[in-house]
Structure 1
Amino acid sequence: MGMHVGQSIASERKVVGLSQRQLATRAAYSLSMVKAVEQGREVASPGFIAAVSRVLGVDPDRLTGAPYLDILEEEGPLDGLAELRAVLAEGVYVQAIDPPPVAELANELAAVEASLRNDRTRRALAALPALLRKAHGAALAAEDDAARERAYQLLCAAYIAAEGACCRLGYSSLTALVLDRLDAAAAHTTDSAYAVRSLVKRSRLLMEHGSTDVAMSLVDRGIGLVPGDTEGERVLRGYAHLRGAIVAARGRRLDVARDHIAEARSLARPMTRESDLYTTDFGPGNVEIHACAVELEAGDPGKAARDGAALILPGDMAAPRAGHHWQDNARAWLMAGKHDRALAALNKARTAAPQQTRLHSAVRETMYGIAAAQRRQSESLLGFAHWLGATL
């Protein structure tokens, strides 16, 4: 079997000289959980990985093995990655290039956002560096306040897209730099939506590093920035409540997480579709997906599995959002002891968002968990592992 996260944890634990009991105590998890994860009998949840990586003093990606370069290299070099790194390294000194007319720049941004929505992340990444340089150029060339405002809104949206691309491809180490640039650009707009997006996206990064208290404070700040009742404010507030639910669940504060779900559900109730305002994907379907995720993280995995399997996802839901739901549903079924249903859910994730599914660390962990639960590896599991580029 390929190397799972538990084996990486055991290796790193021994390097720093901690016993399993010491690691469990410092990470605030049970000794039995640490043993089960290290032995591959239990899937390492994102919250567990965050807590353990913090104790061990390593980046979470070191434990998960992301990015999966062998998979990425199958389709050739990642166009745009080196140039995006250069843009981020330049920081406030970014080399802008002459922009096209603002309508053309907006169309380029829309194409990038559509690529991300349709699980074409490599295509989005290839276009992002030039888009960012052009948007910086538009901000510098603006002749009045209205033009400057529009340019900075486009720049913010481009950095939001860059954060999404980095996360999906496994380059989460770049997201802090992306979010710093997003913060700087958002300060130049009068639209609070971009500050909300920046705060909530940073909360995700903090959550991955186990800083759930700070992450929750950013979510609360974001909610406070959109107190009104316009469609945009309601969508942004709902989006922030969904992130608050996951942060609270990750911090094992189930009551708080459920309160956030209730607030989000109330905001989504009048909606007839999933909103694409500010690329939030907020709507009734996404609320129910997050309700299942909360149960998976901090409540009843069996309920998460059953409720998640029964969901009929809206046809207008973004492919990666649907794919992520089925990834979570697979983990929930595995935790509920139904490995056949877990594999079926992984295949649904593969159908919904194949590129994202191949590159998501939780998918591999769930697959290894299924393999550990099966007395004899089934042909369907071996086929999935082959497609994933992993060995059992």
Structure 2
Amino acid sequence: MTTTGDRIASLRKLAGLKQVQLAQRAQYSVSMVRAVEQNREPASPGFVAAVASALGVESEHLTGAPYYDLMNEDGPLEGIAELRAVIAEGPYVRAVEPLSLAELAAEMAAIDLAYRNDKGRAALARIPVLIRQLYGALHASDNDRGKVFSLLCAAHVTAERLCRRFGFTNLAPSVLDRLEWAAAGADDPLYAAQAKIKRARILMYHNANDVGLRLVEQGIDMIEGDDEAANAVRGYGHLCGAIVAARGIRPDTAADHIDAARALTPPIRRESDLYGTLFGPGNVGIHASAVALESGDPDRAAREGSALILPVEIAPPRAGHHWQDVARAWVLVGQPDKALRALGAARAVAPQQTRLHPSVRETLHAIAAAERRRTDSLANFASWVGVTL
């Protein structure tokens, strides 16, 4: 099976570059380039973005996402073709007969709950129809347009998350364009701030971290008030800023954002579901560990990440992503057995998300390279993910 490291090596050679030249362009060490190309270390998202920029290709071209064959094992991915059509229609979306505003809000809540509980397929199947219904609601009434626009914002927030979940990251910028348009008419000003912050997250895939940090700062500055809703979006902004800064090799800025996010948590005693932020004390701890990993301190990320006690109400995909990061950290410090156990924890809590995440594949290859013999547990996990070791 072709790995990200294999693709990087092939494209580097096609570009006529030596490993040291690619390392200089990507601003990573030549030892890192060599280790990734040899599948001894997993390619981090930040490394993939930097190398993709240096080679002039999309990040997905290096990771191989989306993983159609694997997704089709569970049946056709319902909703993706229709969502593509909705996105392509832009401001000319074909509207359909809407439900009542209360029913539309209930459907939006049900879709968000499905996404939160690692039922992304169910959410994806329903979101295009809801967006068309919301456009129908805009056309049908002059009343409550601000509320309809706010629901449209919520729908586009979730649509963007679904695009990333299933590996269709190239669709996300167009979804965010529509989010910004809807935010201008919404009766909830927090969506305008969230739109800027979410675009910063997408810009990480393009190694545009400086622009992303400016958008995070602009988004946070737009937020007014001190209630849970405002602080959830504000905290989400700081957590996003921490990861963007870490990938942009600005550890001090990343630490400042983590500190600012942590300062917001005392009144929020649980993980908030507002605006899809999943913000709370547990998520701050998860991001603190992730920042250590992205900043080049895998030992700290592995130790602190493994010791972190996640709240029982933490969203399964959020917990799954955490254990995927912990697994990558353990590989980097030479503990493949602990890495595989962390991947098992990710699978247990969020199987759908874990199976489709590119970093899981990279970590599996690194575990295989580090182990002297292939264990049944490693082989079984690799087979489940669709990886040939």
SS at match of 1:268: coil
Alignment match, 2:145: 148
**Contact conserved, 1:116 with 1:124, CA < 8 A, in 2?**
yes
1:249 maps onto 2:246 in alignment = yes
Structure 1 position 363, deviation (Å): 0.3
Match for residue 378 of structure 1 among 375, 378, 382? 375
TM-score if structure 2 supplies the norm length? 0.98
Match of 2:8 in 1: 9
| Match of residue 120 from structure 1 | 119
Question: 1:267-309 CA distances to partner (integer Å, 9 max, x unpaired)?
Answer: 0123210111111100000000000000000042111111111
Secondary structure at 1:6 match in 2: helix
Matches within 5 A, 1:215-294: 215-294=212-291
- Give CA-to-partner distance per residue, 1:186-237, whole Å, 9 cap, x none: 1111422111221111111101110000000010011101143122111111
Residue identity in the other structure for 2:55: L
Q: Distance in 1 between matches of 2:21 and 2:303?
A: 35
**Which digits, 9 at most, give the CA deviation of each residue in 1:36-72, with x for residues without a partner?**
1111122111111000000111110010000011111
Runs of 5+ unmatched residues, structure 2: none
Match of 1:187, SS state, is helix
Distance in structure 2 (CA, Å) of the matches to 1:75 and 1:26: 40
Structure-to-structure mapping, 1:141-220, within 5 angstroms: 141-144=140-143, 147-220=144-217
Match of 2:313 in 1: 316
The answer as to whether partners of 2:271 and 2:282 remain within 8 angstroms in 1 is yes
Deviations 1:80-116 (A, max 9, x none): 1111111111111111112111111111111110110
Which amino acid is 2:273 matched to?
D
Q: What fraction of aligned residue pairs are identical, expressed as a percent?
A: 57
Counterpart of 1:121 in structure 2: which amino acid?
G
The Cα RMSD (Å) is: 1.0
Q: CA deviation at 1:381?
A: 0.5
Runs of 4+ with >3 A deviation: none
Counterpart CA distance in 1 for 2:226 and 2:125 is 37
**Amino acid aligned to 1:271:** I
Q: Does 1:59 align with 2:88?
A: no
Whichever residue aligns with residue 186 of structure 2, its letter is: T
Other-structure match for 1:368: 365
**What stretches of structure 1 of length at least 5 have no aligned partner?**
none
Aligned to 1:335: 332
What does the per-residue CA deviation read over 1:242-291, in whole Å, with 9 as the maximum and x for residues that have no partner? 00000000111111101100000010123210111111100000000000
Q: Deviations 1:159-202 (Å, cap 9, x if unpaired)?
A: 11111111111111111111111111111114221112211111
Asked whether the equivalents of residues 142 and 151 of structure 1 are also in contact (C-alpha less than 8 Å), the reply is: no
* Residue in 1 that maps onto 2:24: 25
1:3 Cα deviation (Å)?
A: 2.1
Q: Which of these residues, 295, 299, 303, is aligned with residue 302 of structure 1?
A: 299
CA contact (8 A) 2:147 2:187 kept: no
Per the alignment, residue 103 of structure 2 pairs with 104
Q: What is the Cα deviation at residue 390 of structure 1? A: 1.0
Residue type of the alignment partner of 1:388 = V
Deviations 1:341-364 (A, max 9, x none): 000000000001000000000000
In 1, Cα distance between the equivalents of 2:268 and 2:118? 25
1:55 and 1:89 map into 2 onto residues whose CA distance is 29
Where 1:269 maps in the other structure, the secondary structure is coil
TM-score between the two structures when normalised by the length of structure 1: 0.98
Contact 2:41–2:363, Cα closer than 8 Å, also in 1: no
